[in-house]
Structures are given as C-alpha cells and as structure tokens.
Amino acid sequence: MENSEPATQTSESLEVTTPPFVAALQREHPEWVGEVISAFGEFTVVVPREHIVAACSFLKTSPETHFNFLADICGADRGPEEEPRFEVNYHLFSTTKHYRLRLKVLLNEEDAHVHTVTGVWKTANWHERETFDLFGVIFDGHPDLRRILLPDDWQGHALRKDFPLRGYEPYSLK
C-alpha cells in the first residue's frame, strides 16, 4: 500500500482496521507486504520469500512491534493442482505487547526454497527441520537441515497431498 495511513479492509460488510504492527510493516517496507488477510480476529501478511528474513528481523527488533517469540513454523500443501503449491507459515507473538501475527510465504513446487530465519530466532531450527521433513521445503542457509521426525532412509515427504496413504512399499527401517 502506498499510503502511510493504516489500511482499512472490508470483509462481508464488517470493517476491519489494520493493526499498528501491520501498519508499521507497510509504512517501513511496503515491498515486504504482498497481501494482508484478516480472518477470525487474526492477521496474516503474505511476504515475498526474498524478504522473509528482513521482515522477521524488523518485526522482532522494532519497538513498535517487538515480536520476540516465534511460536511455530509450519508448512501446508495446497495440493498438486494448486499454484503456488506450498505455504510456509510463521506464527509470531509479542510477549510485551500481546500481539499475534502470521506471516505466510507462498512457494512453487519446482522451487520450494526459502531462506532460513534461524539467525532471527534460534527456535526456527527445529521448526524448519520439521517442515523440510514433512513437506520437502528447503530452507537455504539452515545450519543443520536434515530429517527430524522420519527415518533418514524415508522416501518422500509424508504430509504432501500426493504422498500415498499407505506409504511407499516395501519400506524398511535400517
């Protein structure tokens, strides 16, 4: 959004005012905000993948936002027929301001790469490993990107929608 005033969004005749932490992100770096979604009293900001680390750093360190807690990172497979196919969702919380925010990065199946945010929050390490293990999303620059839940010799990524319900046969644990 080009204007520096907080955006107001309308959803089915319900007017929703963009919260100050989203307005701060839009004001400081509008190129980091692809879309703002308001649903059930929560806000999601779609961030282009090339800006996710900078956006996370800003949201953690800015006095206006202070999202000092990364609650979770999770993947989602929208299905092989969807494009972009994958989502990576970052659930943030400010323990001082009591704000919640979800950041979403959309990824194509052919290039399911996003840069790691382990330099911003150390807890991202295991969250990113889980998303890699179950969805196959590659976190570039991750210090130890390997499976965390499934055995090392597991084929595929179990939470992808095209993964066979019974797995690949035969499977053996070494």
DSSP 80-116: TTSSS-EEEEEEEE-TTT--EEEEEEEE-GGG-EEE-
Q: Is 75 helix (H, G, I), strand (E, B) or coil?
A: strand
pLDDT, average across residues 77-100: 96
Q: For the chain, what is the mean pLDDT?
A: 90
Cross-strand pairs, 72: 91
Position with higher pLDDT, 83 vs 172: 83
pLDDT higher than threshold 70 for residue 2: no
Give whichever of 11-15, 121-125, 166-170 has the largest mean pLDDT. 121-125
pLDDT at 163: 83
Q: What is the pLDDT of residues 118-151, one digit of tens each?
A: 999 999 999 999 999 999 999 999 999 999 999 9
CATH class of the domain defined by 8-140: alpha beta
Cross-strand pairs, 2: none
Q: Which amino acid is at 113?
A: H
Cβ proximity of 57 and 51 under 8 Å: no
Position with higher pLDDT, 155 vs 165: 155
How many C-beta atoms surround the C-beta of residue 159 within 10 A? 17
- Pairwise CA distance, residues 25 & 32, whole Å: 8
DSSP 110-168: GG-EEE--TTT-TTHHHHHHHHHHHH--EEET-TT-S-SSS-TT--S-TTSTTS-TT-S
pLDDT at 120: 98
- Pairwise CA distance, residues 152 & 133, whole Å: 10
- Pairwise CA distance, residues 103 & 50, whole Å: 13
**Going by C-beta distance under 8 Å and a sequence separation of 6 or more, which residues neighbour residue 44?**
36, 37, 38, 89, 101, 102, 103, 104
pLDDT higher than threshold 70 for residue 164: yes
Residue with tokens 């520096």: 4
Position with higher pLDDT, 118 vs 13: 118
